[in-house]
Amino acid sequence: MTRFGMGYDVHRLVEGRRLILGGVAVPYEKGLLGHSDADVLLHAIADALLGAAALGDIGRHFPDTDPRYAGADSGVLLARVRELIEEKGYRVGNVDATVVAQWPKLMAYIPQMVTNIARILAVPEDAVNVKATTEEKLGFTGSGEGISAYAVAGIESREKQ
């Protein structure tokens, strides 16, 4: 059986933080504010995978009230999500994600993000798609106040392998 999930995340841009997207450090004067490393792309993917497996969301598994996750590497959290869906009898099929950011421009970093996400999820790179877009200077992302990400993920029963 194939199942699908959708994820979304958003964080505010602030000075004094590194910008991490898809596990990649992106040079920029601001970074995303959050309890962990605030990687909106990996968080959206994690939520999509958890949703596909009917396992809740990242807030349930990695609450921001838990000091163990302060400054956490979202790649480690995503790897744990992969383990959770595998424990439930599924494997990652594919991921399609969109990062919404007016600045910085992300096209040059997308191949590295895809490679990183595929490695974490133990899937081929052609099972991961990452896109970047702007909001044409509209809303909080368009004004540069934050960055958001959307993701859709498909998971398959492990018995199909």
Question: At a CB cut-off of 8 Å and minimum separation 6, what does 119 contact?
Answer: none
Q: Which residue has the tokens 């994820």?
A: 7
Helix axes 40-52, 110-121, angle to 10 degrees: 40
**Are 114 and 129 a contacting pair, CB within 8 Å?**
yes
Measured distance CA(46)–CA(17) in Å, rounded: 22
Is 59 a known ligand-binding residue?
A: yes
Is 156 a known ligand-binding residue?
A: no
In a 10 Å sphere around its CB, with 0-12 CB exposed, 13-18 middle and 19+ buried, how is residue 134 labelled? middle
Is 64 a known ligand-binding residue?
A: yes
Measured distance CA(141)–CA(84) in Å, rounded: 32
Is 14 a known ligand-binding residue?
A: no
What confidence tens digit (pLDDT) does each residue in 50-105 have? 999 999 999 999 988 988 888 889 999 999 999 999 999 999 999 999 999 999 99
Is 62 a known ligand-binding residue?
A: yes
What confidence tens digit (pLDDT) does each residue in 14-60 have? 999 999 999 999 999 999 999 999 999 999 999 999 999 999 999 99
| Confidence at 160, pLDDT banded by 50, 70, 90 | low
Domains and CATH numbers, the chain: 2-157 (3.30.1330.50)
Is 2 a known ligand-binding residue?
A: no
Task: Give me the chain's average pLDDT, please.
Answer: 96
Is 57 a known ligand-binding residue?
A: yes
Is 126 a known ligand-binding residue?
A: no
